[in-house]
């Protein structure tokens, strides 16, 4: 059974993800086809405003929209999507393993205390 595809413009995927689209113009009107599937995939047709088809894991609409906008931002290097999700709490990178939550480097005293 084939999964149903949803075609929406980029600005609608941004709104569903809970972030306002920070761009305007034809690039935000580009249709992006999204369907739920077992394996994740990103298919892009060549051209300046080529068609994009994304296969996402099965999840809720908000989670799917965040996945779509994040994949466009960092998988496809879409600067409109990247600028749109900049600063969103769900789009922040986690600090590397071993770093405190403040994401600052440990002082020498803190580092020595861990190894005693």
Reported confidence tier of residue 1, pLDDT bands at 50, 70, 90: very low
Map residue 96 onto helix, strand or coil: coil
Which has more confidence, 83 or 92?
Answer: 83
**Cα–Cα distance, 93 to 38 (Å, whole number):** 25
Q: How many CB atoms sit inside 10 A of residue 52's CB?
A: 21
- Whether the predicted pLDDT of 61 surpasses 80: yes
**CA dist., res. 15 & res. 107, Å (int):** 42
pLDDT for residue 31 is more than 50: yes
Domain ranges across the chain: 5-114
CA distances for 106 relative to 2, 53, 87, 103, 116, angstroms: 51, 43, 25, 9, 15
């Amino acid at each position: 059974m084939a999964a149903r595809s949803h075609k929406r413009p980029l600005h609608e995927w941004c709104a569903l993800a809970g972030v306002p689209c920070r761009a305007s113009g034809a690039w935000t009107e580009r249709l992006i086809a999204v369907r739920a599937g077992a394996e994740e995939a990103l298919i892009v047709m060549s051209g300046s405003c080529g068609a994009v088809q994304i296969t996402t894991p099965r999840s809720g609409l908000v989670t799917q929209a965040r996945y779509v906008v994040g994949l466009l931002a960092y998988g496809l290097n879409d600067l409109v999507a990247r600028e749109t999700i900049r600063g969103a709490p769900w789009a922040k990178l986690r600090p590397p393993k071993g770093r405190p939550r403040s994401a600052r480097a440990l002082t020498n005293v803190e580092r020595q205390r861990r190894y005693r």
